[in-house]
Amino acid sequence: MSSRIEPVDLPRAYLLLNHGPTVLVTSAHGEARNVMAAAWAMPLDFSPPKMLVVVDKNTYTRELIEASGEFALCIPSRAQAQATLRVGSHSGRGEDKFLASGLTTFPASKIGAPLVSGCLGWLECRVVPEPHNQQAYDLFIGEVVAAWAAPDAFSGNRWHFPDGERRSVHYLAGGSFFATGEAFNVSDPE
């Protein structure tokens, strides 16, 4: 597992989520912090980059995001799939889910939410307030204020997963995932 991280140019930050990986959503407010899993996250805009994520009203993460106006999206590797399922299946109200799931963290650069160590990429986001979307659809828009990648998996604005474990994952249901698979290129015929 690499512990190096390198900045990603903000207009290229969408590339971290363009292929639809499942993410870990981190949040913090005061002394409180939390992490949950989200399959429903995607880019919304290129520059300034914005991301969408659905965060249910019943979650502790929702409380912390609404209180702080910030969250991070961290892209876990296949090696972190069990921890991803764990933090997606329990509430952080009664426990520190980082400790309970074995996920360690390091500080973000521009927001209070921590970043999960060992992930493949990280997007630090500030909420773009849209109260109707938040209330009616549990839908949050985050402007990306800093983006980072693990250079063994993403550099030069492209993904190049080094092996079967250091690659992103796509959650289905009931503990089932897909790993991100084979890369291939096609050309526009005209």
Binding site for a second copy (CB under 8 A): 15, 18-22, 39-45, 50, 52, 54, 78, 81-82, 85-86, 89-90, 100, 132-133, 137, 139, 141, 158-159, 164, 167, 170-190
Q: How far is the CB of 185 from a second copy (least distance, A)?
A: 5
Q: How far is the CB of 29 from a second copy (least distance, A)?
A: 25
> Which amino acid, one-letter code, is at 44?
L
| CB of 7 or CB of 164, closer to a second copy | 164
| CB of 14 or CB of 108, closer to a second copy | 14
| CB of 17 or CB of 64, closer to a second copy | 17
The token pair that represents 19 in the structure block: 């292929």
Q: How far is the CB of 112 from a second copy (least distance, A)?
A: 26
Surface-to-core class of residue 33, CB atoms within 10 Å of its CB (0-12 exposed, 13-18 middle, 19+ buried): buried
| CB of 17 or CB of 108, closer to a second copy | 17
Q: How far is the CB of 190 from a second copy (least distance, A)?
A: 8
> Which amino acid, one-letter code, is at 162?
P
Q: How far is the CB of 28 from a second copy (least distance, A)?
A: 24
Confirm if 21 and 39 have CB atoms less than 8 A apart. Answer: no
| CB of 83 or CB of 145, closer to a second copy | 83
Element holding 74 (H helix, E strand): strand 70-75
Q: How many other CB atoms are found less than 10 A from the CB of residue 49?
A: 25
Q: How far is the CB of 60 from a second copy (least distance, A)?
A: 18
Residue 60 CB-half CA count within 13 A: 21
> Do the bridges between strand 50-54 and strand 139-149 make them parallel or antiparallel, or are there none, so unpaired?
antiparallel
CA 106 to chain centre: 14
> Do the bridges between strand 6-7 and strand 139-149 make them parallel or antiparallel, or are there none, so unpaired?
antiparallel
| CB of 72 or CB of 75, closer to a second copy | 75
